[in-house]
């Protein structure tokens, strides 16, 4: 059974989409979408040999070799123009890594209409990449599974302006302010305050000073939510 996290990611893939799942690991996400007949064609990309092999094994076991092409490649290098990919999923990585995959692979985005990301941390990197590259956030979700909190950000082409709070917390998530959202930011804020407290006991080098300023800023931002 697919995790609640990946099931949520899958729910944003439109029926009939041609998908590239980057960093697919076991290829659970594309396999789930094929099994449920939501899509019939996908690329599973992996940069590491071990996960690439397990993706191939899993696709074979499920009998989806005609539907899912597993490729070894860094980021969007796994995508070829002739694939006709119109949807990309990148899940289970940090926001900055996801943003760098999109940045480095921007020439492969020509036919892509929707990008579904699930950053584990620093989701604001994805929002920053989006506004700088002509994408808008069309939906967001936050969920908790096994004590961990995950965010999903869905992008389509367009232009938008987000203020500082929206960039940090997500325009949709900020509006919704769900209990999980509150819990996430209370957790983060508690952690920032703890780090700030211990830095206050440390000496005041320029680096420590900068870090403290940054922590104060973040604590202040959370206070405005």
| Residues forming the site for ligand SAM (CB under 6 A) | 6, 22-25, 45-48, 51, 74-75, 91-93, 101
Closer CB to ligand SAM, 67 or 189, in the complex: 67
Closer CB to ligand SAM, 103 or 189, in the complex: 103
Give least dist CB 14 to ligand SAM, A. Answer: 19
Write down the residue that tokens 């939501």 correspond to: 38
Give least dist CB 107 to ligand SAM, A. Answer: 15
User: For residue 179, what are the CA distances in angstroms to 138, 184, 214?
Assistant: 21, 9, 26
Alpha carbon distance 117, 115 (integer Å): 6
Residues ≥6 apart with Cβ < 8 Å to 191: none
Alpha carbon distance 130, 170 (integer Å): 12
**Token digits of residue 110:** 């020509």
Closer CB to ligand SAM, 78 or 137, in the complex: 78
Give least dist CB 129 to ligand SAM, A. Answer: 15
**What backbone torsions phi and psi does residue 15 show, to the nearest 5 degrees?**
-55, 130
Closer CB to ligand SAM, 33 or 167, in the complex: 33
Alpha carbon distance 17, 15 (integer Å): 6
Closer CB to ligand SAM, 32 or 162, in the complex: 32
Give least dist CB 203 to ligand SAM, A. Answer: 37
Give least dist CB 168 to ligand SAM, A. Answer: 23
180 torsion bin: left (phi>0), alpha (psi -120 to 50), beta (else) = alpha
Give least dist CB 12 to ligand SAM, A. Answer: 13
Closer CB to ligand SAM, 75 or 170, in the complex: 75
Residues ≥6 apart with Cβ < 8 Å to 68: 27, 30, 31, 34, 41, 42, 43, 44, 59
**Residue among 134, 133, 64, 51 nearest 92 (CA):** 51
């Amino acid at each position: 059974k697919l995790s609640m996290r990946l099931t949520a990611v899958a729910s944003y893939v439109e029926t009939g989409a041609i998908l590239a799942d980057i960093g697919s690991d076991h290829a659970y996400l594309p396999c789930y979408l094929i099994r449920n007949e939501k899509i019939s064609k996908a690329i599973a990309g992996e940069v590491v040999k071990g996960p690439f092999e397990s993706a191939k094994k899993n696709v074979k076991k499920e009998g989806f070799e005609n539907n899912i092409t597993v490729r070894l490649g860094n980021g969007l290098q796994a995508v070829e123009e002739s694939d006709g990919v119109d949807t990309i999923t990148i899940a289970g990585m940090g926001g900055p890594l996801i943003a760098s995959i999109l940045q480095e692979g921007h020439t492969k985005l020509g036919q892509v209409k929707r990008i579904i990301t699930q950053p584990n941390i620093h989701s604001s990197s994805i929002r920053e990449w989006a506004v700088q590259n002509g994408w808008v956030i069309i939906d967001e979700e936050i969920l908790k599974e096994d004590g961990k909190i995950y965010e999903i950000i869905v992008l389509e082409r367009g232009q938008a302006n987000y203020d500082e709070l929206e960039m940090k917390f997500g325009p949709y998530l900020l509006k919704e302010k769900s209990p999980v959202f509150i819990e996430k930011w209370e957790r983060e804020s508690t952690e920032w305050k703890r780090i700030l407290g211990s830095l206050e006991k440390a000496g005041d080098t320029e680096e420590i000073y900068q870090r403290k300023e940054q922590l104060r800023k973040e604590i202040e931002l959370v206070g405005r939510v």
